Chains A and B, each alone.
Chain A
Amino acid sequence: MTRQTKQTAPQQDRLVTLLIRLSGYSSILLVTLIFIFLMKEGLPALADVGIGELFTDRWYPIEGYFGILPLISGSLIVTLGAMLVSVPLGVGTAIYLSEVAPSSTREVVKPLVEVLAGLPSVVLGFLGIIAAAPLLRRLLDLPTGLTAFAGALLLGLIAIPTIVSIAEDALNTVPAAYRQAALAVGATPWQTIWGVTLPAARSGVLTAVMLGMGRALGETMAVMMVTGNAPTLPHGLDALFMPVRTMTATIASEMGEVATGSAHYQVLFLIGIVLFLFSLVVNVLASSVSFRQRKRAERLLS
């Protein structure tokens, strides 16, 4: 023990603790860095292009038209369409898995939903082009199958795993005593689900829906491949069956061709800022909802 090159345990502890602490704080640093870089590259667009110009309905960058309204509306149409698909299917499946399904069925359904969560979106986009779009075109008698509708269907599928897993968690955390009490006063299992369990889990289910929406809004490849890439402002309800272009798809398809630092480049980063802020709002809201739910459950059970 004369040559003390090896550190003593407490010394080693201090060093490791420091490294671990730094790693722990890294996520704050990263979110801040991401925000700073988006702002640094995107904010100049407000001055160079002008806010008034940005909120117009014409996106035609080659001729200097940078109206992002068609892109925002494209994202909204596709996302809302996707929610019409994924909320009933996702929440229904979560209720089935948590309250009804025998464990043998659960063992089949849950891994399949996990498979869907793992399917790369580019694979679904490929299937959208090669199988879904031609089918939709024939069924609905449209000039092209590559429409907001096709995008909404695919996105609905993509958002399902998020909704199922979080909503199921929420239902599982409803104390068994709630269900037992409902059954004991004479409710049927269905009345218990509908009148007691689901309302008790509603904030968690709401979180699931919001995070699913965030997932759909941020999805890029599948949407870019099947929505037909037409940055036009929709008029009326039939917009669902016309080609659109989302914010994410615009960044993905145009970023590769722009000159670094050009107005077009800045506007694409500005769209990135819009997406970042959207997801920030959705996620902070979702996490505050589930936080409050936990507080209430603690209060009720204490």
Chain B
Amino acid sequence: MNERPMMLSSVNRQGLTPRRVQQLGYGLLRLISLITVLPIFLVVVYIVVRGVPSIDWEFLTAMPREGMRAGGILPAIIGTVYLTLGTAVFAVPLGVAAGVYIAEYAADNAWTRLIRIAIINLAGIPSVVYGLFGFGLFVIFLGFGTSILAASLTLAIMTLPVIISTTEEALRSVPQSFRVVSISLGATRWQTIWRVVLPQALPGILTGVILGLERAAGETAPILFTGAAFFLPRLPQSPLDATMALPYHIFVISTQVPGMPVQIQFGTVLVLLVFVLGMNLVATLIRSRARARREW
């Protein structure tokens, strides 16, 4: 009976009852979702299928040979690990502290709104603009040169908004009663945050940190002019050395080196994919385990 008013007008013309419209609509939504998801699935499968035959011990642990057309990609792997760790060193303490400030200390005033706007803007700045900024500030102005240090700092600033927002969200999800009880037992505000609130929020914060670092590990544009090297005959020796890195290496071997064997391209892409999706998986596991265990 709930179909009566609409039916009168539409059934005469088309035989389109609201029920039929709903079926069509749902079908369309299913189709759209399938079109969205299918390429993602295909991309991952395609890279795995084409990349796996290239992976062997030498590929992962040897230096490149013959103009990078043979041998391994060790320096690119090591470089990406260095850059990711370097990013973590700068971004995690600052980002978590900023998240704590916003969630636990900040008053609801104009300054806090300004901080929020700043974070939103940091998150929206194009990655290549971070590269320009990193070049201007770290490479030239502070004199770090194109180096792991300059690239890590650039990536860290880019990663900051993700870490700040997820930290804030994780802290806000801890029930207020935890804080009230701790303070009422005589703990100071900081003791309450450090011993009670942060441990409870840790899985959420970790998830955000890993997702942020995942993005940093896969980025090319911010390191183009701040730390990435086309080719280096040896591994970087200090934070002031430039480094090869997996994303930049993929760019190089797919556009800059003629006659590049396809196996090496797919192998390198697969290694980066495993690196990045591995971090994604760890983050997902931490999140779902924490949800299952949560006592509140």
Binding site for B on A (CB under 8 A): 9-10, 12-13, 16-17, 19-21, 23-28, 30-31, 33-34, 37-38, 40-41, 88-90, 92-93, 95-97, 100-101, 108-109, 111-116, 118-127, 129-131, 157, 160, 164, 186-191, 193-194, 211, 214, 217-221, 225, 248, 251-252, 255-256, 260, 268-269, 272, 275-276, 279-280, 282-284, 286-287
Verify B221–A220 contact, CB threshold 8 A: yes
- Of the candidate stretches B61-69, B70-78, B265-273, the one touching chain A is B265-273
Contact check, A275 vs B25: say whether CB atoms are below 8 A apart: no
**Which of chain B's residues has its CB closest to A25's CB?**
B115
Given A89-B32, A188-B19, the answer on whether A127 and B189 have CB atoms closer than 8 Å is no
B164 touches A27 (CB 8 A): yes
B121-141 residues with Cβ-Cβ distance < 8 A to A are 121-133, 135-137, 140-141
Beyond the given A96-B29, A188-B18, A260-B140, please list 15 additional residue pairs across the A-B interface where CB-CB is below 8 A.
A20-B105, A23-B100, A23-B101, A88-B32, A90-B36, A112-B41, A116-B40, A121-B220, A123-B272, A126-B250, A129-B254, A186-B2, A251-B128, A255-B132, A272-B133
CB distance from A134 to the nearest CB of B (A): 13
B48 within 8 A of A: no
- Choose from A27, A33, A217 the contact partner of B115 (Cβ within 8 Å): A27
Note all chain A residues with C-beta closer than 8 A to B32: 88-89, 92-93, 96
The answer to whether A131 and B46 touch across the interface, beta carbons within 8 angstroms, is: yes
Which B-chain residue is minimally distant from A221 (CB atoms)? B220
The interface residues of chain B, by DSSP majority, are classed as helix
Contact B247 A120 (CB under 8 A): yes
User: Which B residues touch A275, using CB under 8 A?
Assistant: 125-126, 128-129
B132 touches A251 (CB 8 A): yes
Q: A225–B40 contact, CB under 8 A?
A: no
Closest 4 interchain pairs by CB? A218-B126, A24-B101, A120-B218, A92-B32
Closest to B43 in A: A127
Selected from A21, A96, A252, the residue in CB contact (under 8 A) with B224 is A252
